[in-house]
Amino acid sequence: MRTLLLTGPGGAGASTLAAAAAVRAARSGRRTLLLTAAPPPGWSTVPGLTVDPVAPLGALESLWDASLTALSAAVPGVALPPPSSVVPLPGARDLALLARLARAVDDAEVDRVVVDAGPLPSGAALVGLPGVLRWWLHQALPTRLRMLGAVRTAAVRAGAVQRGPVDAALDAVPALEQLLGRVDLTDPATTEVRLVAPPRPDAVPVLRAAVTALALHGQRPTAVHTRVLPADGAGEWWRRRGAEQEAVLAALAELAPVRRVEESPEAPEDVVALAALLPDGDDDAVPAAPFLPVSERVDGGRRLVLALPFAEREGLELTRWQDDLVVTVAGARRSIRLDALLRRCLVTAGQLADAGTARARLEVTFTPDPQQWPADLLAAEGSST
């Protein structure tokens, strides 16, 4: 199963193009699931197309209803609200999307999932959400606590201790880990990301920041869809607007291949008009290579290189916390687990090379920590070239 995720500035047309991509995929013979809050007109007439609005309220009610019996047993005497009275937390839509994607993987119900991911900040955050949840899960239940939890679970099953609220939480951990293991939105081999933007100058810096945020999580967009003026216009306004448009398209082409969608005075009124918005061969994109941290040996130590195209020095932060390297850029943050070798090293420097360009990259240098390296290995590391 492949996932196609579309996101762009509000009003850019991401919902419309997500619907168009889903219709084209279904009409080509692929079993397709469209996750969107704006179902396209006439979608039910397309064989093989399923549309799910992924309402966060309904998803939360279903989850609460399925867990209510176990929760009531874990906290006897506490009045728990019925599903119809549960208030969703912020971010419930993204969690519902992840759960729906995991169910699609489990049931092998479709060949293609098209996700209308909403505005750019939401789209970038959705890509990084599985990694964020794994990080929080590790903070809440590090290895030592998990071992103690396994001992307690065995004791509860043996009847040695009484079941309590903590056991309900421990029961939920395996299910959450399985869900996160089934959905990986950071791998371009399984998830394709496309950006949607108007050909206006103010869209360029917004999309550049989005490309940087996506790269932080390992993703890179395969295309930028943009609505363009019809080619048959005339007059001074049309000429000036056309020149501005071409300059913007040239800037967007630095981010990803540009796919033009001709502007229309009215919205597509049926699935045929929707499918016509995208060109033939639109589903044949070659998966992009992921942005992965690269560790390499340098004089006196090692260096970790992380590609961050178009990143700027302003707003870039780098910290080391225990075994993780925490990078903040373009309004996004990722905690990168260091490999076993770098964990035994000290961070000595960090720099952003080629800032503001497609080649921008974060370079972090490390030197062996004498307190964590045996003397003979430390001498060998220092003498190697």
Six-digit token pair at 369? 């920590």
By three-state DSSP, how is residue 50 classified?
strand
Q: How many domains does the chain have?
A: 2
Query: pLDDT tens for residues 19-70?
Result: 999 999 998 889 999 998 888 888 888 899 999 887 777 777 776 776 666 6
- Is 283 contained in some domain? no
Q: How far apart are CA 152 and CA 166, in angstroms?
A: 10
357 and 227 in one domain? Answer: no
Is residue 286 in a domain? no
Comparing 309 with 171, the larger pLDDT belongs to 309
Residue whose C-alpha is closest to residue 323's, from 347, 339, 311: 339
**How much is the average pLDDT of 62-86?**
70
What CATH number does the domain containing 361 carry?
Answer: 2.60.40.790
Any domain includes 281: no
**Does residue 280 lie in a domain region?**
no
Same domain for 324 and 369, yes or no, is yes
Secondary element (H or E) of residue 151:
helix 143-158
Residue 206, SS3 per DSSP: helix
Q: Is the pLDDT of residue 165 over 60?
A: no
pLDDT at 61: 77
Q: Which pLDDT score is estimated for 348?
A: 92
Residue 77 included in any domain: yes
Query: What phi and psi values does residue 231 have, to the nearest 5 degrees?
Result: -80, -5
Pairing of strands 191-197, 112-116: unpaired
pLDDT value at residue 371: 82
* Residue 323: domain span: 294-383
Mean pLDDT on 190-219: 94
Are residues 219 and 85 located together in one domain of the fold? yes
Tell me if 287 is assigned to some domain. no
**Stretch 203-227: mean pLDDT, rounded?**
94
Asked whether residue 178 is assigned to any structural domain, the reply reads yes
Looking at the structure, tell me whether residues 263 and 299 fall in a common domain.
Answer: no
Q: State which amino acid sits at residue 111.
A: D
Q: Are residues 9 and 153 in the same domain?
A: yes
Strand-pair category, 49-52 with 32-35:
parallel
CATH of the domain at 25: 3.40.50.300
Q: Domain check: are 82 and 210 in the same one?
A: yes
> Does one domain contain both 247 and 138?
yes
Same domain, 204 and 342: no
Q: Chain-wide mean pLDDT for the chain?
A: 83
Last residue of a domain, one of 275, 304, 324: 275
One-letter amino acid for residue 96 of the chain: A
Same domain, 161 and 214: yes
Q: Select the more confidently predicted residue: 319 or 96.
A: 319
In this structure, the answer to whether residues 186 and 259 fall within a common structural domain is yes
| Residues in Cβ contact with 214 at an 8 Å cutoff, skipping those fewer than 6 apart | 124, 127, 193, 220, 221
Q: How would you label 294-322 residue by residue, b for 16+ Cβ within 10 Å and e otherwise?
A: eeeeeeebbbbebbbbbbbeeebebebee
Same domain flag for 257 and 376: no
Q: What's residue 183's pLDDT? A: 82
In a domain, residue 378? The reply is yes
Q: Which residue has the higher pLDDT, 274 or 307?
A: 307
**CA–CA distance, 283 with 279 (Å, rounded to integer):** 9
- Do 331 and 258 lie in a common domain? no
Boundary residue ending a domain (227, 248, 275): 275
What's residue 256's pLDDT?
Answer: 93
pLDDT band at 74 (very low <50, low <70, confident <90, very high): low
For the stretch 252-306, pLDDT in tens is 999 999 999 888 877 788 888 888 888 776 666 677 788 899 999 988 889 999 9
- Of the candidate ranges 90-104, 212-226, 290-304, 330-344, the one whose mean pLDDT is the lowest: 90-104
